Structure 1
């Protein structure tokens, strides 16, 4: 078996899934595709700083493009609209010859990707006036399928939220649409009776966070691989008895306490500062004095556990505003974090630091560590964008476990092939 399997990462974001696969060292990520520029810049920076790519090579492999323009992505020869929006931030080879020109004669073994989950998430459907039925993101799997059809990998992995299993845009279960799309191009996924086996709890894979994810794995209909072999291999790597906690993830970081009076530095208002802090992107967002007092009281009084109406009343008492929902929630040192979400780009009120004296929401670095990104992983973009890309990412240690499982199944199949060949030789003597 070849030492490295060739992979395309679609909807790559800032690189959580790619990072996990690269850490296992048996995968060559030949292409990453993402359509938000801060995320592409973050991924390219990581490829250069950590994975020994030249800037030119990173710019070729990490492609800034809209996957919905699938034909152009695959073949190049971008139209005027695509050139205007994307060409200046991509290598000419990709613009002119697309993924085919970049990949050349390499055989693609695996295609992975996690399309945006907002259209499938239960929360997204609950808060949207039309339950996300009209959201174009419901159908991004179609572009994913077209790329699978073109490059014909042995395996694909489609990562998303558990809500995808119950989503029904247009009254038809999205999982049925996905199954039909891949069936039509010669691939099979778990059927409806077994699809619940595709749900994994990331906290069982060294992720200090309550985060469940669905892995829709597909193989060719005539494949030598069995779908259940991949799922069983992933499950064998789970560890329910040694889950990481918030303390494990961020407890070692320097504390950042509120100042007696906030100050202004340039255009920024500063409300908190550490005595010593040389940790990359470990700087909290500004909090006004009212929020600081709210955070202190919330954590000291363990208000995560008070009745819902008391939380509503507390919010009104402190802000003189009405709400139907609880606005605050704090992390707890010796438990897993709540699911890190992209909403962190807007505020951190439901991610209050577990130390009452620090009286703040979590930093970019703390969010990243709770997603198991390495501490030297640099996120490029505005603070809001950094929170967003972290919340949308695949936890790195979960991605690494996935990679180990995939490689194990591929390796075992190759070993069995060799054994069968030896028996065939013996039988022919």
Structure 2
């Protein structure tokens, strides 16, 4: 079941599809840091399959360099990652690259295309910051590049993911045009707003998911079973040591049993009991004082402390009438609010629930909230890693979507074999 991953980011969606047995033919991604993350993940899977996971552990524990890691992996594995922006100038070269990868395969059919164009032009927050409300942003039309791949490869299925704002961009006209263009290519489509928390992810994260399938295929948009988790953020962070703002654990071996939460959410297993990229940004003392107040207020009332409710000495912004929820606690006794790429700017919206630690959440904690496994390494700087995590589709959500499509493929294959 060959799968093509477009606008791949750090690979959250393709991670879910890979778990269900799909063969990722290629990831196409323009961002350098995300492309390196994808390459490192490909290296992980190759070395694991070859029973050489220690080579990967040597890399993430800084015993060998990235170049030394990549030298251990066949070029054809690393070349699955196409570091290229999809544009009018590049798409033909990308087609050629993918065609070469398919050339010698017994099955050279792309079964499914997954991904979603960058969402900044559709984001409601992005539109609120732009004086032109993203009206003239060329990223409004990146979906046309996605459709080029649909038209060329004619997959049986596709999954198109994007933010809620795509439905209202340009008063809804873009979303209507996207659906029309998909239908014109010979596909039946349906869409729903899906929330990651309903797939077991410990985060409320709503996304528009369009699924398309060729007209001759007997398929309809699935009703996904509710998988609301009984676990909480406290369970998710249980094995992470107490740390303070500015602390950093690049890599450490952990002792003790892995709790049920981490096993069930595919965060950790007994074969990989390591903690990596537990990096916490430093803070000014004024921010830490605000954090303490926010956590105490949340623990006492289960409510957010608004910016204009802070003591006057802690208010440094002139605007006290809007954006009042700029400080936000991740609740220990529940699930997180949506993790977004802005977490790379500061941690004010993601304050750790433990008053003893008085800090924002770490890279690894953000990755866990997004359901990335602990063996997933995010390349480049802390800032770049936070951006990748905030932009990703939670792998656990991707896995549940992939499961349903896999069943449909098998069912239709069995029907075809009867005739």
Q: TM-score normalised to the size of structure 1?
A: 0.80
Contact 1:297 1:356 in 2 (8 A): no
Within 5 Å, which residues of 2 pair with 1:79-118?
A: 97-104=96-103, 106-118=108-120
Question: Could you give the per-residue CA deviations for residues 1-36 of structure 1, whole angstroms, max 9, x where no partner exists?
Answer: xxxx00000010111111111122x20000100000
Structure 1 residue ranges (4+ consecutive) displaced by more than 6 angstroms after TM superposition = none
Q: 1:15 aligns with which of 11, 16, 23?
A: 11
Q: CA deviation at 1:200?
A: 0.9
**Distance in 1 between residues matched to 2:218 and 2:26, nearest whole Å:** 24
Contact 1:65 1:73 in 2 (8 A): no
**Distance in 2 between residues matched to 1:296 and 1:133, nearest whole Å:** 40
Structure 2 match to 1:257: 244
Aligned residues: 366
Q: CA deviation at 1:414?
A: 2.3
Contact 2:248 2:278 in 1 (8 A): no
Contact 1:74 1:100 in 2 (8 A): no
Contact 2:297 2:304 in 1 (8 A): no
Question: Could you give the per-residue CA deviations for residues 369-397 of structure 1, whole angstroms, max 9, x where no partner exists?
Answer: 00010111111111111000000011010
**Distance in 2 between residues matched to 1:59 and 1:359, nearest whole Å:** 40
Higher CA-based Rg? 1
For residues 41 and 417 of structure 1, do their structure 2 counterparts lie closer, same or farther at Cα, with a shift above 3 Å needed? same
Matched, 1:181 2:177: no
Structure 2 match to 1:91: none
Report SS of the residue matched to 1:227: coil
Structure 2 match to 1:130: 132
Structure 2 match to 1:36: 31
Structure 1 match to 2:90: 72
Q: CA deviation at 1:123?
A: 1.9
Report SS of the residue matched to 1:302: helix
For residues 98 and 151 of structure 1, do their structure 2 counterparts lie closer, same or farther at Cα, with a shift above 3 Å needed? same
**Distance in 2 between residues matched to 1:177 and 1:208, nearest whole Å:** 33
For residues 51 and 371 of structure 1, do their structure 2 counterparts lie closer, same or farther at Cα, with a shift above 3 Å needed? farther
Q: 1:320 aligns with which of 312, 316, 319?
A: 316
Q: Could you list the runs of 5+ residues in structure 1 that have no partner in the other structure?
A: 77-93, 259-270, 422-429
Contact 2:332 2:353 in 1 (8 A): yes
Q: RMSD across aligned C-alpha pairs, in angstroms?
A: 2.3
Q: TM-score normalised to the size of structure 2?
A: 0.81
Question: Could you give the per-residue CA deviations for residues 137-188 of structure 1, whole angstroms, max 9, x where no partner exists?
Answer: 11111000001100110011101112212222xx562121112222332223
Contact 1:73 1:98 in 2 (8 A): no
Structure 2 match to 1:81: none
